[in-house]
Amino acid sequence: MCERQVSRRPNTLMNTNARDGMPIQIEDDLWLLDTLHQGEPGVIASYLITGKAGLGLVDVGPTATMSQLLTSIKVAGYDPLDIEHLVLTHIHLDHAGAAGALANVLPHARVYVHRIGAPHLLDPAKLLASAKRIYGADMQMLWGTIEPVPEERLVVVEEGSELRVGERTLRALYTPGHAVHHVAYFDPERNTVFAGDVAGVRLDKGNTVRPPTPPPDLSLEDWSASIDRLLDMDLVALYLAHFGKFADVAEHLSLLRERLDVWGQVMLAGMRKGESTEQLAGRLAAGMQREVDEMADVNRTQMLRQYELASNNMMSALGYVRYFTKYHPELLAIEDNGAE
């Protein structure tokens, strides 16, 4: 691919913070862009990579926040029209919803996605039908209008595919568990990973790590294997879509694995009692409330809203219900061990 000359605009907003929604330069060639999902800071991030191989975004958020994303690119000092790479970890609407709309307004941009997710970007009808069953009348408010990605702009990636973005080589790692079409992107030079959702949700400065576990693809076995894979790499940092860069990789991933197991036991306890999905979601919400109550120096009401936006309790409960019902119905008949 030929390299295009990219000019950087002057930027007078270098000292920004995540709470005001302004872009954060976290490395020489890397910016964290806050999409301000539903007006909340620190919930959904996109990462802007700069350099001579072309500007790129890792995950792009929903169409509803596309205007904020484009504005953030400009505030960082770059022209959105110079974007050449839209690198998607998976096709869920909070990560890839804006991909088609962006491809239609950014003339040089190509969209990279795992082969299992690719058909749903070319024709999002099934994806949208599934989402509408869950979100109903809130679809437009939450996600905006979802446009198909033009076929000639779509690039399919597989395990081991390498992309040259900015100054970085990104290697696709197939990391299912959260979604069957999930890939993370490994930067071997820096020994870091753009983790999408495989590394879970961790907002602000807290140590709470929550797994987003929506249907239909949750697999605890696959997710555990993906965590093992990341742990074996001795990474120095994770870039989370929800939200930011974290260097305590082993501790973070261990907390995520523990939470996946604990939530599984809590959901099983409720399912064995015949609880509704609303009651199961209430169990998760109660646990989140306890954790937030223990946090210091945070707006607890806002923190609860942010975590709910990033890892919706009802969606997480539904993911476990489908997982246990489909893959482990034998566990539902085991005597309740009292997990709460």
Domain assignment of residue 169, given as a range: 18-256
Flag whether pLDDT at 327 surpasses 80: yes
Instruction: Give per-residue pLDDT as tens, 291-321.
Output: 888 887 788 888 899 999 999 999 999 999 9
Task: Report yes or no on 236 lying in a domain.
Answer: yes
Residue 201, in any domain of the structure: yes
Q: Which amino acid is at 109?
A: A
Residue 254 has pLDDT above 50, yes or no: yes
Residues with Cβ within 8 Å of 338's Cβ and at least 6 positions away in sequence, in order, are: 269
pLDDT, tens digit (0-9, with 9 covering 90-100), for 59-84: 999 999 999 999 999 999 999 999 99
Give me the percent of the chain exceeding a pLDDT of 70. 92
> Contact 127/101 with Cβ under 8 angstroms?
no
Taking residues 90-117, report their average pLDDT: 96
Distance CA 111, CA 57 (A): 10
3-state secondary structure of 334: coil
Q: What is the pLDDT of residue 162?
A: 97
Report yes or no: 185 and 232 within 8 Å, Cβ to Cβ.
no
CB-side exposure of 87: number of CA atoms within 13 Å? Answer: 33
pLDDT at 295: 81
Place of tokens 């523990």: 258
Q: Is residue 58 part of a domain?
A: yes
Nearest-5° Cα angle at 36, 76 to 101: 80
pLDDT, average across residues 109-119 = 97
| 165-172 average pLDDT score | 96
b/e per residue 57-92 (b: at least 16 CB within 10 A): bbbbbbbbbbebbbbbbebbbbebebbbbbbbbbbb
What is the Cα–Cα distance from 200 to 235, expressed in whole angstroms?
Answer: 16
In the chain the first and final C-alpha atoms are separated, in Å, by 55
Q: For residue range 199-235, what is the model confidence (pLDDT) as tens digits?
A: 999 996 667 899 999 999 999 999 999 999 999 999 9
| Mean pLDDT to the nearest integer, 267-288 | 95
Please answer whether residues 90 and 117 qualify as being in contact, where contact means their C-beta atoms are separated by less than 8 angstroms.
yes
Is position 271 within any domain?
no
Indicate the number of domains in the chain: 1
Tell me the C-alpha distance between 278 and 23, whole Å. 37
- Closest to 312 measured CA to CA, from 244, 198, 215: 215
Q: Are 47 and 86 in contact (CB under 8 A)?
A: no
pLDDT at 188 over 80: yes
- Cβ contact 74:106 at 8 Å: no
The predicted pLDDT at position 64 comes to 95
For residue 3, pLDDT over 80 is answered with: no
Domain assignment present for residue 135? The answer is yes
**Percentage of residues in the chain with pLDDT exceeding 90?**
79
Backbone angles phi, psi at 129, to 5 degrees: -60, -40
Kindly report the number of other CB atoms within 10 A of residue 206's CB atom. Answer: 16
Provide the pLDDT for residue 291: 87
Residue 252 DSSP label: H
Distances (CA, A) of 231 to 57, 209, 240, 250: 25, 16, 15, 6
Q: What residues are paired with 185 via a beta bridge?
A: 172, 194
In this structure, is the dihedral angle defined by the CA atoms of residues 257, 261, 264 and 270, taken in order, positive or negative? negative
**In a domain? residue 153:** yes
Is 54 part of a structural domain of the chain? yes
pLDDT tops 90 at residue 14 = no
**Exposure class string for 146-172: b at 16+ Cβ within 10 A, else e:** bbbbeeebbeebeeebebbbbebbbbb
Mean pLDDT (the chain) is 90
pTM of the model: 0.91
Are the beta carbons of 232 and 338 closer than 8 angstroms? no
Residue 7 has pLDDT above 60, yes or no: no
Residue 304 lies in a domain: no
**Residue 310: CB partners within 8 Å, gap ≥ 6?**
43, 44, 201, 203, 210, 212, 242, 243
| 24 pLDDT above the threshold of 60 | yes
Q: At 106, which CATH number?
A: 3.60.15.10
Inter-residue contact 74 to 9 (CB < 8 Å):
yes
